[in-house]
Amino acid sequence: MKKYLLTLSAVAIALTSCDLDINDNPNTPDNGAITADLVFPSIQNAIMATSCDIMFNYAGFFAQYFDQMPEANQFNQIADYSITESDQIIDRAYLQLYARALEDVDVVLEKVTNKADILAATAMRTFAFQLMVDNTSDAPYTEALKGSAVPQPKWDDGKTVYLGVISELTKALDEFKAAPDVMTMTDMMFDKNTNQWVGYANALLLRMYFRMYDAGMTEYKDKIMDLVNANDFFSGDVTIDIFGDQTGNRSPFYASYYALGTANHCASYPIISYMQSTGDPRIEYCFNKSSKTGDYVGQIPGSKALSKTWNGGDWKNVNVSAVNYKLFDGSGVERPAYLYTQANLQFLIAEAYLRFDNNDAAAKDAYEAAIAADFAAKGIAGYDTFIAGANVAWASATDKLKLIYMQKWAALCYMDNMESWSEIRRTDVPALSAQAGNAIFADATIYTPGELIEPYENGIEAGGLMKRMFYPKRARDLNKNTPAPKKGSDPVWWDIH
């Protein structure tokens, strides 16, 4: 633990010095003296800061876990989808991924020949590019990270990027399996366990294969089942678990929001209504009870500006539930950063068995294993009672695929918000309610618990939900090859529904 903390401190100093172009190398001018062992934790740290903090925040709104607390204002535009490129919501994530994580991956790959180290660095590179594509669809890839040789790289389409990193990761896996090595780099995720790195790489491929298949590339069905039948995946959850109650070392989301005295996040109505409808005890992990009602209360998405009107001139008449920054047991300050949950993996396996193998028994086992893993990760009791509930039990479900997707949405809440937003777009589950937010507020009986709700105040020109993030303004300012602006309603490449 102490070694990791010292490494993180050094990395934090290196990363706070200045803004960087995506072709700048944060390690120069001393690149030759820096070892891969020092650089690799910087890669993990940058990706963690991206998926478990920056994207975790706005994806929590888009997945309708979060809404803007009525008495606060920081995320009004995210809550009602009125953001634009000029708001620079994704710019810090873009900087973290390119000028930090991906630049450092190149440094590592230049320095090592060890097949285990190459596999780990390539897996991190794959995840970084996947995150970028799942947000903006296009991304600098084939010409990126070439420094002054290509100062304004082109943006490749998302399919090209996915195919490229899948090829890279598959090659790294094959080469490691042909000549296994012992990992040499400091590793905050798996502590140099190469079996876990192989399992993580396979799991990254699995979720990308699902997106490829659902984008119309039907040949990926066999690739999905090959991975599932081989069952060579990671155990437990993929986390960075190094945090404690010291300044500069608190859990990312806690440190960025609660620890700074900003309480902007309240519960969104769809997730609260669904968890209540299924009697889900995991609700206490994610949200606090309203001090006014003594129960969990969600806010209609995008309704913050209108809550006074809806509540007789005083939003405190409802007093919505706050997001549980501290967690139910007070451990929020040291909560691990989740990069891939076992629950998400098992839900994908359940989906594969149900959709592609007609294997109801195997799908049921994976579905129940997913929920059990999430209960364990959150430290919540009551799994046996919950899994037998009428709205959750496998045997009583009339639409088992939808049940998998809905329970994945519940499980990913406050664990991996970015992945949840991506899966909502891939599966179209939860579905979008046909009822308007103000009508639901006036008469909750017209609403089906768990359906997503178009924000009452919606900045998307075509209406509906957020389908993508805008290109970074930093890219627009520095790179003439940045694509023409897109709308929030324009889907990413694999979202063809």
CA atoms of 354 and 362, how far apart (whole Å):
8
Distances (CA, A) of 201 to 165, 178, 301, 426: 11, 16, 36, 21
Q: What is the pLDDT of residue 3?
A: 35
Q: Name the pLDDT band for 151 (thresholds 50, 70, 90).
A: very high
Token readout for 96 is: 């973290």
CA atoms of 38 and 295, how far apart (whole Å):
48
Average pLDDT over residues 120-142: 98
pLDDT at 32 over 70: no
pLDDT at 1 over 90: no
**Choice between 347 and 29, residue whose per-residue pLDDT is larger:** 347
Q: What is the pLDDT of residue 438?
A: 79
Average pLDDT over residues 71-86: 92
Q: Name the pLDDT band for 165 (thresholds 50, 70, 90).
A: very high
pLDDT at 310 over 60: no
- What does the pLDDT look like over 174-188, one tens digit per residue? 999 999 999 999 999
CA atoms of 438 and 156, how far apart (whole Å):
41
CA atoms of 53 and 95, how far apart (whole Å):
14
SS3 at position 160: helix
The answer to whether 126 and 204 have CB atoms below 8 angstroms apart is yes
193, with CB counted inside 10 A (0-12, 13-18, 19+), is: middle
pLDDT at 9 over 60: no
Q: What is the pLDDT of residue 250?
A: 93
- What does the pLDDT look like over 39-78, one tens digit per residue? 999 999 999 999 999 999 999 999 999 999 888 889 999 9
- State the average pLDDT for the chain: 91
pTM given for the model:
0.93
- Neighbouring residues of 93: CB distance < 8 A, sequence distance ≥ 6: 50, 54, 55, 131, 135
pLDDT at 236 over 60: yes
Q: What is the pLDDT of residue 24?
A: 45
Residue 88: Cβ within 10 Å count: 15
- What does the pLDDT look like over 324-363, one tens digit per residue? 999 888 889 999 999 999 999 999 999 999 999 999 999 9
CA atoms of 120 and 361, how far apart (whole Å):
34
Q: What are 363's strand-pairing partners?
A: none
The Cα angle at residue 373 between residues 196 and 248, in degrees rounded to 5:
70
CA atoms of 321 and 267, how far apart (whole Å):
5
The answer to whether 200 and 234 have CB atoms below 8 angstroms apart is yes
pLDDT at 31 over 70: no
CA atoms of 27 and 22, how far apart (whole Å):
13
- Neighbouring residues of 106: CB distance < 8 A, sequence distance ≥ 6: 145
CA atoms of 389 and 18, how far apart (whole Å):
53
Q: Name the pLDDT band for 440 (thresholds 50, 70, 90).
A: confident
pLDDT at 5 over 80: no
The answer to whether 224 and 356 have CB atoms below 8 angstroms apart is yes
Q: What is the pLDDT of residue 7?
A: 37
Phi, psi of 344 (to 5 degrees): -60, -45
Average pLDDT over residues 244-252: 90
The structure tokens 């997730």 sit at 271
Domain limits, the chain: 2-18+32-303+321-478
Q: Which amino acid is at 253?
A: F
User: How much of the chain exceeds pLDDT 90, in percent?
Assistant: 79
Q: What is the pLDDT of residue 314?
A: 55
Interaxial angle between packed helices 115-136 and 194-214, expressed in degrees from 0 to 180 and rounded to the nearest 10: 30
Average pLDDT over residues 430-442: 89
CA atoms of 382 and 275, how far apart (whole Å):
14
**Choice between 255 and 12, residue whose per-residue pLDDT is larger:** 255
Residue 292: Cβ within 10 Å count: 12
Q: What is the pLDDT of residue 177?
A: 97
Q: Name the pLDDT band for 2 (thresholds 50, 70, 90).
A: very low
The answer to whether 424 and 363 have CB atoms below 8 angstroms apart is no
Token readout for 376 is: 């364990």
CATH 1.25.40.390 fits 2-18+32-303+321-478, yes or no: yes
Q: Name the pLDDT band for 373 (thresholds 50, 70, 90).
A: very high
